[in-house]
């Protein structure tokens, strides 16, 4: 079997006396989606920054195509085909879609090295269409696009500029339910085009439908990397929310002693289509139920 | 080249919408209104002689307004641009008259100095990350002091003159300060320079990589840098561009009057910004147009001369300018809201 596109082995990182990441391993294969899940402060951003070349790891190995590397910076990562789409996006709201699409890598033509506008517009339109992104007009300012459309344009841009590994930093967290579904569809589309995708999120309901592999982080350490057939959505949600911790919380908050998350959804959840229609946080895990129950009862 | 079928959702409304989001729109409407108004007040205003008359102030202002517009689209201000027209003129005339330099060499020295000042402005802004408003206010005051101090120290008066005697004057005068006759009417040659500068700036903005970078560094510098745009280089180049324009205008003015006052250009810096804003530039950067700034300069020229043609007190000019500025800024804000609205 060909080596994975990207692999991290026992990666660790400390900032002064703070251990941000310890012994985390993960792998990304072409045409697969690896989801990185974790609560705030779990070490997700540190891991992305190491993968995208912003930081270098202090311990462990970082392998690309099976060869250990040490990235000198984000530019080197990009040159090796690792593109990162950050949550706050490198997009200029007042500029048109096609100008944004080629920003920093404008195609030039002619003796005056003019910006080949016709080519830029055509390619932007074609690439967006190839990703199934239905933009009304590439001349419209990016600021008039919805959050999901902007994420999608950023993904299409990374794909066009030769990304082999696409790292998406919480692309769905600021979005409404429908928009999140749209972005999940483009993640699947990028995967189908043979890219290895790293999808960072804290929402297991967004991760489960598209993920092939799930890395769970908690307080800087790995809770394990699971293949899709080795874990159910409920287990994922429960692990994500801190499993035992949540059970304890349930006990603490509920004097009548109804233990643990409500198992109401059962197996139905697994058959749900990839549409992201489910409101985040409303599924398994029992957080809403806890929230609604008055403590003074 | 295959062209994909247009999306059915942009049919019909597309043209109007596209027209409305053009940054120049407000200034075009304003220019037509101002022209119509003064034409009805004075027949001379709309005659060829009248047009040549009000295009003259529009031309020198327009060259500066276009350069300032580029800088403002790039997200910065230059308050030292006005006084720099005086500085370059003073340097040129002083070297040519007091030290007997060939006029072309003196002009070149002015350009080198202007580029150095523009570079210093840009470098200070980029390195210190201070607002350019403050940095260039500093250079503005310093240059103002230098212009006066050095001129007084060298000549004992507050002006340098006698450029007509300098070697090479005739050629330079014809090139920068002469006139061309079209249909029996004398037009200042500066008008051609202005049109050329506007065309070049428009090409750079709309059809070059640098243009894309200018919009990007003004729109969101962090995002631009993240995708590999050389933001610092772009901004420094923009400051050097306004300095070059100031040199061109300073040279035109010096050749026209053959003398330069030590306080030349002071107070003009805001007029440039006003023309650029009337032409659709946002004060916050990332949006605007070179043609718009030129049309803003035309409005300025028409009002400047039109008030005289109509036989009014010239005091009304400032009132008019202020009202135009307010209207233009309000119109621009609507455009920006429209362009930035997010549909979720």
Domain CATH for A84:
3.40.50.300
Residue A67 lies in a domain: yes
Phi/psi-derived region of residue A26, left when phi > 0, alpha when psi is between -120 and 50, beta in every other case: beta
The model's pLDDT over A267-279, given as tens digits with 9 standing for 90+, comes to: 444 444 444 444 4
Q: What is chain B's length?
A: 344
pLDDT band at A266 (very low <50, low <70, confident <90, very high): very low
Contact by Cβ (8 Å): B139, B80: yes
CB pairs under 8 A between A and B: 103
| Distance between CA atoms of residues B166 and B98, nearest Å | 10
Model pLDDT for residues B116-139, shown as the tens digit of each residue: 999 999 999 999 999 999 999 999
In a domain, A286, yes or no: yes
Q: Is the predicted pLDDT of residue B6 greater than 60, yes or no?
A: no
Contact: A179, B344; criterion CB under 8 Å: yes
- Regarding whether A188 and A74 lie in a shared domain, the answer is yes
Residue B85 pLDDT > 70, yes or no? Answer: yes
Q: Is B147 helix (H, G, I), strand (E, B) or coil?
A: helix
Enclosing domain of residue A237: 232-297
Give residue A54's pLDDT. Answer: 84
Of A98-102, B174-178, B235-239, B299-303, the range with the highest mean pLDDT is B235-239
According to the model, what pLDDT value does residue B12 have? 45
pLDDT averaged over every residue in chain A: 80
Number of domains in chain B: 1
Alpha helices in chain B (DSSP H): 13-20, 25-41, 43-46, 48-73, 81-97, 103-128, 132-155, 169-172, 190-207, 209-219, 221-226, 231-257, 268-278, 290-309, 316-340
Looking at the structure, tell me whether residues A197 and A278 fall in a common domain. no
For A176, which residue in chain B has the nearest alpha carbon?
Answer: B344
Q: Residues A204, A279: one domain?
A: no
> Residue B1 above 80 pLDDT?
no
Dihedral angle sign, alpha carbons of residues A184, A190, A194, A197:
negative
Find, among B58, B43, B60, B55, the residue nearest to B249 by Cα. B60
A163 contacts in B (CB within 8 Å)? none
Residue B192 belongs to some domain of the structure: yes
Question: Would you say residue B235 has pLDDT above 50?
Answer: yes
Q: What's residue A291's pLDDT? A: 37
Instruction: Check residue A236 and give its pLDDT.
Output: 81
* CB of B278 closer than 8 Å to CB of B26: yes
pLDDT tens, position by position, A17-44: 888 899 999 999 999 999 999 888 888 8
Which range in A34-48, A261-275, B318-332 is most confidently predicted, on average pLDDT? A34-48
Residue B1 token pair: 């080249």
For residue B161, list its beta bridge partners: B259
Q: Is the residue at A1 inside a domain?
A: no
Same domain? A154 vs A267 = no
Q: Which of A184, A208, A231 is the last residue of a domain?
A: A231
pLDDT computed for residue B336 by the predictor: 63
Of A112, A137, A176, the CB nearest to B344: A176
- Pick from A197, A231, A265: which residue ends a domain? A231
pLDDT score for B27:
84
CB contact at 8 A, B295 and B99: no
**Last residue within a domain, chosen from A196, A231, A266:** A231
* In a shared domain, residues A151 and A136: yes
| 8 Å CB contact of A143 and B206 | no
CB burial class (10 A; 0-12, 13-18, 19+) of residue A111?
Answer: exposed
**Mean pLDDT across B184-197:** 95
Exposure class string for B246-261: b at 16+ Cβ within 10 A, else e? bbbbbbbbbbbbbbbb
Mutate to test the interface with A, among B200, B205, B220 (most CBs of A within 10 A): B220
**Is there a contact between B227 and A104 if contact means CB atoms under 8 Å apart?**
yes
| Number of C-beta neighbours around residue A202 at 10 A | 21
A257 torsion bin: left (phi>0), alpha (psi -120 to 50), beta (else): left
pLDDT at position B14, please?
A: 54
Range with the poorest average pLDDT among A110-114, B127-131, B188-192: A110-114
Is B267 within the bounds of a domain? yes
- Look at residue B31 and tell me if it is in a domain: no
Chain A residues contacting B via beta carbons under 8 Å: 75, 86, 89-95, 99, 102-106, 108, 112-115, 117-118, 122, 125-126, 129, 134, 136-137, 139, 141, 143-147, 175-176, 179
Q: What is the CATH number of the domain that holds B111?
A: 1.10.3470
Instruction: Tell me which residue in B209, B219, B342 faces A95 most closely, judged by beta carbons.
Output: B219
Same domain, A99 and A246: no
The residue in chain A having the minimum alpha-carbon distance to the alpha carbon of residue B217 is: A92
pLDDT computed for residue B207 by the predictor: 94
pLDDT band with cut points at 50, 70 and 90 for residue B338:
low
Longest dimension (CA), chain A: 80
Question: What pLDDT is attached to residue A139?
Answer: 87
State pLDDT tens for residues A59-81.
999 999 999 988 887 778 888 88
- B209 within 8 A of A115, measured Cβ to Cβ: yes
Q: CB distance A144–B339 less than 8 Å? A: yes
pLDDT digits (tens, 9 = 90+) for B251-295: 999 999 999 999 999 999 999 999 999 998 988 899 999 999 999
What's the confidence (pLDDT) of residue B59?
97
Q: How far is CA B163 from CA B104, B149, B180, B257, in A?
A: 12, 20, 22, 9
Asked whether residue B227 is assigned to any structural domain, the reply reads: yes
Do residues A78 and A165 lie in contact, with contact meaning Cβ atoms separated by under 8 Å?
Answer: no
Please give the average per-residue pLDDT across A162-190, as a whole number. Answer: 85
Task: Tell me whether residue B15 is exposed, middle or buried, using C-beta atoms within 10 angstroms of its C-beta: 0 to 12, 13 to 18, 19 or more.
Answer: exposed
In the predicted model, is pLDDT for residue A15 greater than 80?
yes
Are A93 and A21 members of one domain? yes
Residue B62 covered by a domain: yes
Contacts within 8 Å (CB) and 24+ apart, B30-33: B30/B278, B30/B295, B30/B299, B30/B324, B30/B327, B30/B328, B31/B295, B31/B298, B31/B299, B31/B302
pLDDT in tens, A195-209: 999 999 888 888 888
Helix residue spans in chain A (DSSP H) = 44-51, 74-79, 97-101, 117-130, 147-160, 177-192, 204-210, 233-240, 244-253, 287-292
Say if residue A165 is in the same domain as residue A238.
no
Q: Is B209 contained in some domain? A: yes
Residue B187 lies in a domain: yes
Alpha-carbon distance of A244 to A238, in angstroms, equals 8
Same domain for A36 and A127?
Answer: yes
Residue B202: per-residue pLDDT: 96
Write down the pLDDT at residue A292.
Answer: 40
Asked whether residue A227 falls in the same domain as residue A237, the answer is: no
**Percent of chain A residues past pLDDT 70, beyond the cut:** 82
Residues A210-224, mean pLDDT to the nearest whole number? 88
Same domain assignment for residues A287 and A208: no
A141, A96 Cβ separation under 8 angstroms: yes
Q: How many domains does chain A have?
A: 2
* ipTM for the predicted complex: 0.84
Mean pLDDT of A98-112: 91
A76 and A151 assigned to the same domain:
yes
Range of the domain at B177: 42-330
Kindly state whether residue B170 falls inside one of the protein's structural domains. yes
């Amino acid at each position: 079997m060909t080596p994975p596109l990207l692999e991290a082995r026992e990666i660790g990182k400390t900032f002064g006396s703070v251990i941000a990441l310890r012994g985390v391993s993960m792998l990304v294969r072409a045409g697969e989606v690896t989801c990185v899940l974790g609560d705030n402060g779990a070490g997700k951003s540190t891991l992305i920054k190491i993968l995208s070349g912003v930081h270098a790891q202090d311990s462990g190995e970082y392998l690309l195509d099976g060869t250990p590397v040490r990235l000198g910076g984000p530019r080197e990562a990009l040159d090796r085909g690792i593109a990162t789409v950050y949550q706050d996006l490198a997009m200029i709201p007042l500029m048109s879609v096609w100008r944004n699409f080629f920003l920093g890598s404008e195609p030039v033509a002619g003796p005056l090295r003019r910006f080949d506008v016709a080519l830029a517009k055509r390619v932007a339109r074609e690439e967006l269409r190839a990703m199934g992104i239905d933009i009304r007009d590439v001349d419209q300012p990016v600021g008039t696009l919805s959050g999901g459309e902007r994420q999608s344009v950023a993904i299409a841009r990374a794909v066009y500029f030769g990304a082999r590994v696409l790292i998406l930093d919480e692309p769905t967290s600021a979005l409404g339910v429908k928009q999140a579904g749209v972005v999940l569809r483009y993640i699947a589309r990028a995967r189908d085009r043979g890219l290895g995708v790293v999808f960072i999120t804290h929402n297991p309901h967004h991760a489960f439908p598209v993920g092939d592999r799930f890395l769970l982080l908690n307080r800087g350490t790995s809770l394990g990397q699971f293949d899709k057939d080795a874990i159910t959505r409920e287990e994922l949600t429960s692990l994500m929310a801190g499993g035992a911790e949540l059970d304890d919380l349930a006990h603490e908050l509920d004097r009548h002693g109804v233990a643990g998350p409500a198992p109401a959804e059962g197996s139905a959840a697994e058959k749900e289509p990839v549409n992201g229609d489910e409101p985040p946080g409303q599924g398994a895990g029992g957080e809403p139920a806890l929230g609604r129950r008055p403590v003074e009862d | 080249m295959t062209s994909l079928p247009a999306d059915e959702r942009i049919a019909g409304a597309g043209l109007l919408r596209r027209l409305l989001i053009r940054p120049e729109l407000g200034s075009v409407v304003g220019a037509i209104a101002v022209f119509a108004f003064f034409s009805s007040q004075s027949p001379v205003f709309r005659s060829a002689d009248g047009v040549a008359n009000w295009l003259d102030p529009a031309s020198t202002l327009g060259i500066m307004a276009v350069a300032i517009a580029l800088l403002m689209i790039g997200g910065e201000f230059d308050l030292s641009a006005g006084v720099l027209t005086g500085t370059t003129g003073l340097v040129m005339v002083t070297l040519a008259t007091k030290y007997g330099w060939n006029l072309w060499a003196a002009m070149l020295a002015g350009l080198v100095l202007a580029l150095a000042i523009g570079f210093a402005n840009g470098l200070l802004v980029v390195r210190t990350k201070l607002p350019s408003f403050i940095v260039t206010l500093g250079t503005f005051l310093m240059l103002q002091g230098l212009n006066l101090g050095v001129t007084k120290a060298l000549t004992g008066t507050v002006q340098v003159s006698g450029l007509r005697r300098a070697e090479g004057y005739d050629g330079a005068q014809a090139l920068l300060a002469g006139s061309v006759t079209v249909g029996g009417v004398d037009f200042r040659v500066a008008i051609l320079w202005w049109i050329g500068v506007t065309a070049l700036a428009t090409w750079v903005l709309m059809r070059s990589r640098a243009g894309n970078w200018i919009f990007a560094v003004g729109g969101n510098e962090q995002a631009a840098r993240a995708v590999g745009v050389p933001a610092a280089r772009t901004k420094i180049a923009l400051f050097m561009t306004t300095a070059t324009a100031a040199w061109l205008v300073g040279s035109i003015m010096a050749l026209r009057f053959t003398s330069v006052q030590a306080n030349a250009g002071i107070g003009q810096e805001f007029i440039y910004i006003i023309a650029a804003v009337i032409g659709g530039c946002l004060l916050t950067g990332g949006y605007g147009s070179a043609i718009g700034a030129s049309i803003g300069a035309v409005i300025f020229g028409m009002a400047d001369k039109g008030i005289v043609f109509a036989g009014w007190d010239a005091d009304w000019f400032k009132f008019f300018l202020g009202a135009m500025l307010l209207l233009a800024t309000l119109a621009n804000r609507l455009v920006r809201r429209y362009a930035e609205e997010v549909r979720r």
